[in-house]
Amino acid sequence: MYHIQTSLFYNLQELVRNSSLLQKYYYLFQVLDLSILPDRNNGVGRTGHSQHAILRAFIVKHLQQVKSVPQLIEYLEAMPPLLELCGFTLGDMPDESQFYRFLTDTNNAILKDIHHGLNQQLISQGLVSLDMLIADSKPVMAATKENNLKNPARNSTNKTKKPKRNPAATLSYYSCQIINGKKENMLFFWGYRTHVIISKEGIALVEITLPNNITDQEVVFKLLRELKRRYKLKKGFLFLGDKAYDVRELYTFIVEELKGNPYIPINPRNQQDDKTFGPHGCPICDAGIEMKSTGRWTEGNRKRVKFRCPLKAAKKAAAQYHNTCPANHLSFSTGNCYGCTKYLDVTDDARARVPRDSKEFKETFKYREYVEQYFARLGDREAEQTTHYSLKAVRNQMTITHLTASLIGVAAAILLKQPEKMRCNKTFAQLPQRRNAG
């Protein structure tokens, strides 16, 4: 049970009643169940400082957008009532090493369990549904001079030359411009990515932070399996993701194993080129001649029909063109001289059956913007940069960040009975003002 400490110098309860800032954290900490997190060292050695208080302080750090741990300590010491709400004793604040140790030593699974306990409350009350799942990821920049755009010696191209203090950070692009179908003005950064699957109410259901070079399509399988393990998924749920998730294996996994419906747009890089067909239904080659079918071709779970150069496949046709290719295709007279080939994808699978041209798909896919709004609410300080160096510390930092969003949902919707403010980081604790009688 969370209790307010009393002070000899002021009435903390009175301050909470008259301060919107203190009220916010009082409500948050009221619904934050930390029973699974050991508070102090009960074994050999010093008892140490309260781990519960340090976690509450990190929640303050995130919501108040405090940039670093030293600044967090300074911020709390300047506000004794908030310091005591966190659970610290006035005049006995832990030094910054204790905060860093919390991030590096705390088992991430404990923080995840706290997070999912909050989500279960929202789900059981019918405040969060599982009929629509939305996936995406956001960059988390590492704390390194290599990410300083003003550094003329920054390493932005060599993936093997890692920053000294960030062994798990990897190099990938942060942003780019698409010019004539090609990526231009690429901006690279060293760091990580935080991956989430959220509900349509804007609550992160599962999350993980990994090195930047692990793609969205690789991570989403892990997140969906965790989602299935922790929550009871509804048959026929919708999965929304951008074109980064356009891989056949994912469609099959969602449809056949999870019994859901994937709503994912086609990635142009995974799409076959447009083909012009002749009178017999075969593609036209570069020379303008209808090609010849050579049967079906199977690669993994894909089925394709293979077409070959008509001049190589039929001697009579070759004689008409004097055994030369009108388009001077290199494969006609070089190598094994097999001639050009084309393939037509005829796979009838979950990917092919997505109704992307329907009104329903277009209307439903608009909900994907909710994950963009979710990342925007996290704030630049937490979700786009970090001041920590180990992957474990960064991962715990980001789990606390996602946990805080669910914590606000529980405080607003369950404790304060204001479900419409579940996503209001700043105003969720503001109760409606009652009109004076008379």
Q: Is the pLDDT of residue 323 over 70?
A: yes
Residues in the chain: 438
At residue 118 the predicted structure's pLDDT band, cuts being 50, 70 and 90, is: very high
Per the structure, the complete domain to which residue 87 belongs is given by 12-111+393-421
Q: Is the pLDDT of residue 389 over 90?
A: no
Distances (CA, A) of 2 to 26, 87, 315, 356, 432: 9, 9, 87, 50, 25
For 364, residues 6+ apart whose C-beta sits below 8 A from its C-beta are: 238, 240, 263
Higher pLDDT, 311 or 435: 311
Residues 133 and 231 in one domain: yes
Higher pLDDT, 338 or 185: 338
136-158 burial, b for 16+ CB within 10 Å, e for fewer? bbbbbbbbbebbeeeeeebbeee
Let me know: does 66 contact 72? Beta carbons within 8 Å: yes
Residues 246 and 291 in one domain: no
435 domain-assigned: no
Q: In angstroms, what is the C-alpha Rg of the chain?
A: 28
At residue 32 the predicted structure's pLDDT band, cuts being 50, 70 and 90, is: very high
Residues 220 and 365 in one domain: yes
pLDDT value at position 46?
Answer: 58
Closest CA to 383 of 136, 108, 140: 140
Closest CA to 169 of 382, 383, 389, 380: 389
Q: Give, in degrees to the nearest 5, the angle at Cα 57 between 56 and 63.
A: 90
Determine phi and psi for 53, rounding to 5 degrees: -65, -40
Is the Cα dihedral 27, 33, 37, 39 positive or negative?
A: positive
Helix residue ranges, H only, 79-190: 80-86, 96-105, 108-124
Structure tokens at 400: 């606390």
156 domain-assigned: no
Let me know: does 373 contact 422? Beta carbons within 8 Å: no
At residue 434 the predicted structure's pLDDT band, cuts being 50, 70 and 90, is: very low
Residues 169 and 206 in one domain: yes
Q: Is the pLDDT of residue 411 over 60?
A: yes
Place of tokens 């908030």: 82
CA 317 to chain CA centroid, Å, is: 55
Q: Is the pLDDT of residue 151 over 80?
A: yes
pLDDT value at position 381?
Answer: 42
Residues 237 and 373 in one domain: yes
120 domain-assigned: no
Distances (CA, A) of 309 to 25, 87, 289, 342: 72, 77, 9, 9
**Rounded-to-integer distance, Cα 328 and Cα 199, Å:** 55
| β-strands 170-179, 204-211 pairing | unpaired
For 402, residues 6+ apart whose C-beta sits below 8 A from its C-beta are: 115, 194, 196, 204, 207, 378
Residues 164-183: pLDDT tens digits?
888 888 888 776 555 566 66
Q: Is the pLDDT of residue 221 over 50?
A: yes
22 domain-assigned: yes
For 167, residues 6+ apart whose C-beta sits below 8 A from its C-beta are: none
DSSP 3-state assignment of 140?
Answer: strand
Determine phi and psi for 360, rounding to 5 degrees: -60, -45
Domain boundary among 315, 345, 375: 345
DSSP 3-state assignment of 22?
Answer: helix
Total domains, the chain = 3
For 23, residues 6+ apart whose C-beta sits below 8 A from its C-beta are: 16, 17, 429
Taking the whole predicted model, whether its pTM rises above 0.85 is answered as: no
pLDDT value at position 179?
Answer: 58
Residues 258 and 240 in one domain: yes
In this prediction, residues 350-369 reach a mean pLDDT of 87
Structure tokens at 281: 């239904």
Let me know: does 97 contact 86? Beta carbons within 8 Å: no
Residues 58-101: pLDDT tens digits?
999 999 999 899 999 999 999 999 999 999 988 889 999 999 99
pLDDT value at position 437?
Answer: 38
CATH of the domain at 193: 3.30.420
Residues 44 and 66 in one domain: yes
At residue 313 the predicted structure's pLDDT band, cuts being 50, 70 and 90, is: confident
63 domain-assigned: yes
**Rounded-to-integer distance, Cα 391 and Cα 388, Å:** 8
Domain boundary among 285, 315, 345: 345
DSSP 3-state assignment of 188?
Answer: strand
pLDDT value at position 299?
Answer: 75
pLDDT value at position 435?
Answer: 41
Residues 257-305: pLDDT tens digits?
999 999 999 887 766 666 677 777 788 888 889 888 888 777 776 777 7
pLDDT value at position 37?
Answer: 96
154 domain-assigned: no
Place of tokens 């894909």: 302
User: Among the listed ranges 19-28, 256-265, 314-323, 324-333, which one has the minimum average pLDDT value?
Assistant: 314-323
CB count, 10 Å around CB of 173?
13
Residues 239 and 367 in one domain: yes
155 domain-assigned: no
**Rounded-to-integer distance, Cα 279 and Cα 284, Å:** 10
